């Protein structure tokens, strides 16, 4: 992990991974080079997140990582399509405040 990277809450990182960008909340990151590998659904369920909230988090990351849009446009799309909650706001805020960029 680079000294100035941030790792969001409820993240799981594959052992032995190296990264120099921020890792957004609620995801699993792995492989080489490190990349988004899905949401940490097991961790979220264990912490009592509702199925509806998990689905909203999943849909948020689907827009961010699989839409083919740049991050700024993807976040605007998230604001339009996903019901706002403190968790979704946390994701948006984390990404917007990233100084190093996020893993892709």
For residue 84, is it within any domain? yes
pLDDT given at position 80: 97
Q: What is the pLDDT of residue 15?
A: 93
Per-residue pLDDT of the chain in tens (104 residues, 90 and over written 9): 899 999 999 999 999 999 999 999 999 999 999 999 999 999 999 999 999 999 999 999 999 999 999 999 999 999 999 999 999 999 999 999 999 999 99
**Residue 5 falls inside a structural domain:** no
User: What pTM does this model have?
Assistant: 0.94
The answer to the question of residue 68 being in a domain is: yes
Structural domain for 21, as ranges? 12-96
Question: Domain for residue 38, yes or no?
Answer: yes
Distance CA 25, CA 61 (A): 10
- Residue 60 lies inside a defined structural domain of this protein: yes
Q: CA-CA distance, 76 to 46, in Å (whole number)?
A: 30
Residue 97, class by beta-carbon neighbours within 10 Å (0-12 exposed, 13-18 middle, 19+ buried)?
exposed
User: What is the rounded CA–CA span in Å between residue 62 and residue 18?
Assistant: 23
Domain count, the chain: 1
Q: Is residue 91 part of a domain?
A: yes
pLDDT of residue 79: 98
Task: Indicate which CATH number applies to the domain containing 22.
Answer: 1.20.1180.10
pLDDT for position 51: 98
pLDDT for 12 equals: 97
User: pLDDT value at position 5?
Assistant: 95
């Amino acid at each position: 992990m680079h000294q100035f990277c941030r790792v969001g809450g409820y993240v799981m990182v594959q052992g032995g991974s190296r990264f120099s960008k921020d890792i957004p909340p609620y995801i699993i990151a792995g492989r080489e080079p490190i990349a988004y590998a899905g949401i940490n659904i097991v961790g979220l369920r264990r912490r009592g997140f509702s199925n509806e909230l998990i689905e909203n988090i999943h849909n948020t990351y689907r827009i961010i990582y699989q839409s083919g849009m740049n991050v700024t446009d993807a976040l605007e799309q998230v604001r339009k399509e996903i019901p706002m909650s403190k968790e979704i706001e946390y994701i948006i805020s984390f990404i917007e405040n990233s100084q190093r960029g996020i893993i892709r």
